[in-house]
């Protein structure tokens, strides 16, 4: 009988081997059990939107590609960091909640800062990031992460909002330097997602993202819910499978639905639609007119827009008395007349008793104006 059971020493050795194999693997950790494929999909969608936003800002093609997803204790992440790194802290405040930390090499952020300030990105990688450069990078990160939250909102089917990103330079050669407290327990498993980052004309680099265990769980649950991957009772799963099979059979092109054992002849009749009378339209218009009369005394802000332009942060900071700003409209083009920020008409600028005025030359239809105020 003793040969049929493992000894205590053999059990200890077996458990020790299992722990060594599963150490740091997020798919095997009880505290950080998640689906790497789901996190990879979420990361591809969110960082794809971030890359598009940054491309627009810099005027250069930007590619961000996910390369690796892994789970490891929070303290292990800090041990891998060396030298000066730029840490971006983003907090999700609506839809999902938690901290999202991105760690960029300093040289990558230096290039972004130079582009944001009107340069060509050709800067010394050892240059110090001053307050102005960090402000420029903060604006770029704000645009990137704003696009990310929009992409997640569409992916999850639920509004996702963030707080303004915080950008700081960390020197991890200093033993007192610590990452933001994503997890209070240093042994807690976090998710580390690595990305390959490339700006057109510059060398490829790598940055990574750190997500806390609770935030990862929220993301995975919302993804499964949005994609209909939530676990269901077996009875419901069978019913859903039968419905899907039936739907596919009926919708298959060139095929006929299976004959029913209790088929009954169906009498077909032509469909008859009720004609719309002019009296109904008149009544509807009268109701709309009565409702609008309640709003006639509400004051509205009317403004005239001469034109627009886009400027870099560097160009704005260089503005002074006497500077000229070139707008996107040519001489003689009509100006836009806005009510509460909505376009309602166009006109030309005139002078009336030493005051500027606008002569209306084109008015948007009342129906279009009404729908514009509804947006």
Reference 193, options 52, 22, 41, 75; nearest CA is 41
Q: What is the pLDDT of residue 247?
A: 40
Is residue 89 domain-resident? Answer: yes
Q: What does pLDDT average to in each consecutive run of 10 residues of the chain (375 residues)?
A: 54 52 43 68 90 88 90 85 89 89 90 86 80 87 89 89 89 85 82 91 90 89 80 46 43 45 53 52 58 73 88 88 86 85 86 85 73 55
User: Per the structure block, which two tokens stand in for 246?
Assistant: 């039936």
> Which pair of structure tokens corresponds to residue 31?
């505290």
Question: For residues 144 and 150, what is the distance between their CA atoms, to the nearest angstrom?
Answer: 10
The answer to the question of residue 276 being in a domain is: no
- CATH number of the domain to which 161 belongs: 3.40.1550.10
Q: Looking at the 3D structure of the chain, how many domains does it have? A: 2
What one-character DSSP code corresponds to residue 202? S
The reply to whether 64 falls in a domain is yes
Q: pLDDT at position 250, please?
A: 38
Dig out the tokens for 279 from the structure. 């009296």
Q: Give the span between the Cα atoms of 86 and 353, in whole angstroms.
A: 58
Q: Which of 201, 227, 253 is the last residue of a domain?
A: 227
Q: Is residue 283 part of a domain?
A: no
What is the C-alpha radius of gyration for the chain, rounded to an integer number of angstroms? 31
Note whether 77 and 31 are within 8 A (CB).
Answer: no
The Cα-based distances of 215 to 100, 182, 209, 325 in angstroms read 8, 10, 13, 46
Residue-level pLDDT at 238: 45
Q: Map tokens 């001053």 to a residue.
A: 130
For residue 343, the domain's CATH number is 2.30.330.10
Phi/psi of residue 211, nearest 5 degrees: -125, 135
Beta-carbon contacts of 290 under 8 Å, excluding residues fewer than 6 positions away, are none
Structural contact between residues 43 and 155, judged by C-beta atoms closer than 8 angstroms = no
Are the beta carbons of 349 and 358 closer than 8 angstroms?
yes
What confidence score (pLDDT) does residue 260 get? 47
Domain that holds residue 165: 21-227
3-state secondary structure (DSSP) of residue 13:
helix
């Amino acid at each position: 009988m003793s040969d049929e059971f493992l000894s205590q020493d053999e059990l200890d050795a077996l458990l020790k081997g299992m722990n060594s194999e599963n150490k740091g693997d997020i798919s095997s950790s009880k505290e950080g059990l998640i689906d790497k494929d789901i996190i990879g999909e979420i990361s591809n969608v969110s960082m794809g939107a971030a890359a598009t936003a940054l491309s627009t800002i810099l005027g250069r093609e930007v590619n961000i590609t996910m390369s690796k997803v892994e789970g490891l204790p929070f303290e292990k992440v800090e041990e891998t960091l060396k030298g000066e790194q730029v840490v971006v802290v983003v907090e999700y405040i609506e839809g999902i909640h938690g901290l999202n930390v991105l760690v960029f090499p300093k040289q990558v952020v230096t290039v972004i800062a130079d582009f944001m300030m009107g340069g060509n990105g050709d800067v010394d990688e050892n240059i110090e990031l001053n307050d102005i450069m960090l402000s420029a990078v903060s604006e770029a990160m704000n645009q990137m992460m704003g696009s990310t939250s929009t992409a997640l909102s569409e992916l999850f089917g639920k509004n996702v909002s963030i707080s303004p990103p915080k950008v700081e330079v960390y020197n991890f050669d200093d033993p007192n330097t610590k990452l933001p407290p994503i997890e209070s327990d240093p042994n807690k498993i976090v998710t580390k997602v690595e990305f390959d980052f490339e700006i057109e004309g510059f060398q490829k680099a790598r940055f990574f993202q750190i997500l806390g265990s609770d935030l990862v769980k929220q993301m995975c649950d919302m993804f499964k819910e949005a994609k209909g991957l939530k676990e269901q009772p077996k009875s419901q799963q069978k019913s859903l499978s039968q419905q899907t099979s039936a739907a596919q059979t009926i919708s298959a092109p060139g095929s006929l639905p299976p004959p029913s054992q209790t088929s009954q002849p169906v009498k077909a009749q032509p469909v008859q639609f009720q004609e719309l009378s002019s009296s109904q339209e008149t009544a509807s218009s009268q109701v709309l007119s009565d409702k609008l009369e309640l709003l006639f005394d509400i004051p509205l802000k009317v403004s005239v827009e001469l034109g627009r332009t886009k400027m870099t942060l560097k160009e704005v900071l260089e503005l002074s008395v006497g500077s000229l700003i070139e707008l996107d409209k040519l001489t003689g083009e009509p100006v836009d007349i806005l009510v509460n920020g909505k376009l309602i008409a166009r006109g030309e600028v005139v002078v009336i008793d030493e005051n500027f005025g606008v002569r209306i030359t084109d008015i948007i239809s009342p129906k279009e104006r009404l729908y514009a105020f509804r947006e």
